Structure 1
C-alpha cells in the first residue's frame, strides 16, 4: 500500500512539474501581433504596430504618435523582454495625453524570431539611434529597463533626458543566476525555451561587454534619472549607487524605490508612471 501511495505521489509531482514547465514556456514565449494588441482593447488611443528593418534584421515596433508638440517616451526592454513589457504604460490614458510613446522588440526577442541576439550594447545603441533618427531629439526621453539601461545610457546624441529603470551598468555587480546552468549544460539545454536561450546568451556575455562602457558612462551629454528598487537582487541596487558616483550632482538623480525588486516596472507601476510624468516637463 505504501509503495502504491508513493507511486501516486511521485506521478502527481511529475505531472505538476510538467504542467509548470508548459505554463512557464507558454507564458514567457514572445506574443503574436494579435496577442500584443489585445492589451490595448480598452485603450483610448490605439497604437500602431509595424514591422521594421535594421541592418537586414526584422523587428516589431509599437507606437502612439499623435501630437508632434508632445515629448516622446522611447522604451527599451531588458533581458528577457519585449514590447509587451510596457503595454500598461502605452495604454495609460494620462500618459497618452502627455506624451507620444514607442516600444520595440530587440533582435532575438521578436515573435517567431529566426535571428539571434546580437550580444552587443554597441549594436543595440545603433539600433535605438536608428529608431529615433526622425524624431525631434529635444523631445525624446529614452527609458531603459534592466539591460535596456546601458543601451539607453550609451547613446551619446543629445536628447531631452535618459530615464533608467533598474539598469545593469556595472560588471563587478553583475550576478550570474544558477539557472543559467540549464543553458550552459548540454544535457539540459534542450529544456530551455528558445527565447530563454537567447536571454541566456545575452546574459552570459553582458558582464564582459559592460567593461567596454562602464568607465565612460559619465560622457553622456544627457541628464539622467535612475530609478531602482533597494531590494533588487537580479540587478543589484549597487549598480545605481556606483553610477551615481560617476556623475556630477546636477546631471544625475537617483530615485530609490524602497523594498522594490527587479519587477518594479510592473509591481510599482503607479510610482514609475508618476516619475515619468514628472520628467516630461
Structure 2
C-alpha cells in the first residue's frame, strides 16, 4: 500500500520538477542580464575601447546608471535605450563596435526599474521615464551644439519616442527598432497577469516584475502619446520585422503615419524579421546608425556655415 503511494507521489513529483526546471531555464536569462557595476566595467577593461566611464546621475525623480565610451566634444552623442526586461548590458556588443566608437561618443542608460536604476522598482509613466532619461542625456551632452542620436529598442523605443516628443531640442536623430508605438498592437504573455500580484511577483526576477508592471500599462501609456507624435522633428528611422510576434508590425506603420514633422523618415520592414533584430541583423542596425550620424553631422555643418554667412 505504502509502496504504491510512494510510486504515485514519485510520478507526480517528476513533472513538477521538470516544470520548475523549465521555468528556471526560461527565467534565468532575465536575471543574468542585470549586470553589476563590476560586470559592466569588466566588459570594457581590456583598454581597447578608449575612455570608459560608469556612473550615476539624479534625474527628475530617480537616480539612473549610465555607461559612456568616449568624451570627444567634436563627435555626436549616440544614446542607447534598452527594452524590457533588460539593462545596459544589452548594448555591450554594439558599444564595442569600432566603427561606431570612431564616429560618436556612446552612452547607454539603464531605464528606471532595471540594472542600476532601482532594479525591481518600476516607473509606470513613460512621460516620467523620458523626463529622467532626458536629464541624464542633457547632463552627458558636452554642449548645446553636440548632436544627439537616440537608438531605442522595443519598449526602450517607446521611451525614446517620448523623449523626442517632449524634448525635441536634444534629439537630432532617432532609430526606433522593434518599438512599441501603437496601442493594443502587441502580445501579452498569459503569465504576465498572475505574476504581477503578490506573492507570485516575489517569486520572479526583479527585472521581470518591473517588465510586468510596465506591460500591463502599455495601452494607457501609448494612448497618452497619440496626440504628441507631431512634436518629433528629428531625422527618424523605423526598423521592424515583418514576423515580429511580440510587438506587431502595425506598430511601425502607425508611427510612420504619425511622424508628419520628422526631418526625414526612413521605414524599413525586415523580411521575416522577428523581435530580436539586434542579434539577427546587427549590420543593418549599424548601417542606419551611421546614416543618422551622417545626417546630424551634416546638419550641424550646414547650420554653422549658414550662421557664418549671415554674420558676414
Tell me, yes or no, whether TM beats 0.5. Answer: yes
Task: Report Cα offsets for 1:117-157 as digits up to 9, x if no partner.
Answer: 11111111211221122424551001111112122222232
How far has the Cα of 1:15 moved from its partner?
A: 3.7
Q: How does 1:42-191 map to 2 (within 5 A)?
A: 42=46, 44-46=48-50, 47-55=52-60, 57-111=62-116, 113=118, 116-134=121-139, 135=141, 136=143, 138-154=146-162, 155=164, 156-158=167-169, 159-184=171-196, 186=198, 188-191=200-203
**1:161-240 correspondence to structure 2 within 5 Å:** 161-184=173-196, 186=198, 188-240=200-252
d(CA) in 2 for partners of 1:147, 1:180: 16
Shift of 1:11: 4.7
8 Å contact from structure 2 (residues 73, 146) kept in 1: no
* 2:261 matches 1:264: no
Runs of 5+ in structure 1 lacking a partner?
none
SS in 1 for 2:238: strand
**5+ unaligned residues in a row in structure 2: which ranges?**
295-312
Give the deviation of 1:6 after TM superposition. 8.0
Q: Mean alpha-carbon deviation: is it higher for 4-13 or for 82-91?
A: 4-13
Deviation at 1:18, TM superposition (A): 3.2
Cα distance change, pair 124–114 in 1 and its aligned pair in 2 (3 A): closer
| Structure 1, 105-114 or 189-198: larger mean CA deviation | 105-114
The alpha carbon displacement at 1:169 in A equals: 0.9
Please identify, of 247-256 and 138-147, the stretch whose mean Cα deviation from structure 2 is larger.
247-256
What does residue range 20-35 of structure 1 map to in structure 2 within 5 Å? 20-29=22-31, 30-35=34-39
CA–CA distance in 1 between the matches of 2:44 and 2:22? 28
- Superimposed CA distance per residue, residues 143-174 of structure 1 (whole angstroms, 9 cap, x where no aligned partner): 11111212222223233211111111111313
| TM-score between the two structures when normalised by the length of structure 1 | 0.88
Q: 1: CA distance between counterparts of 2:153 and 2:84?
A: 9
Rg bigger for which structure? 2
Q: 1:17 to 1:233 in 2, by over 3 A?
A: same
Count of residue pairs brought into register by the alignment: 281
Rounded to whole Å, the distance in 1 between the matches of 2:89 and 2:132 is 19
Question: CA 1:260–1:38 in 2, change beyond 3 Å: closer, same or farther?
Answer: farther
* 1:56-104 alpha-carbon deviations (Å, 9 max, x no partner): 5322100012321111111111121210111111111121111111011
2:281 corresponds to 1:279: no
Deviation of 1:13 (Å): 4.4
Q: 1:45 touches 1:64 (CA, 8 Å); kept in 2?
A: yes
Q: 213-222 or 175-184, which moves further after superposition?
A: 175-184
> What is the rounded CA distance, in whole Å, between the counterparts of 2:117 and 2:138 in structure 1?
27
Cα gap change, 1:124/1:111 in structure 2, threshold over 3 Å: closer, same or farther?
Answer: closer
**More moved, 21-30 vs 257-266:** 21-30
Cα distance between partner residues in 2 of 1:202 and 1:34: 27
| SS of 1:164 mapped into structure 2 | strand
User: 2:236 matched to 1:247?
Assistant: no
Q: Aligned partners of 2:119 and 2:211: how far apart in 1? A: 14
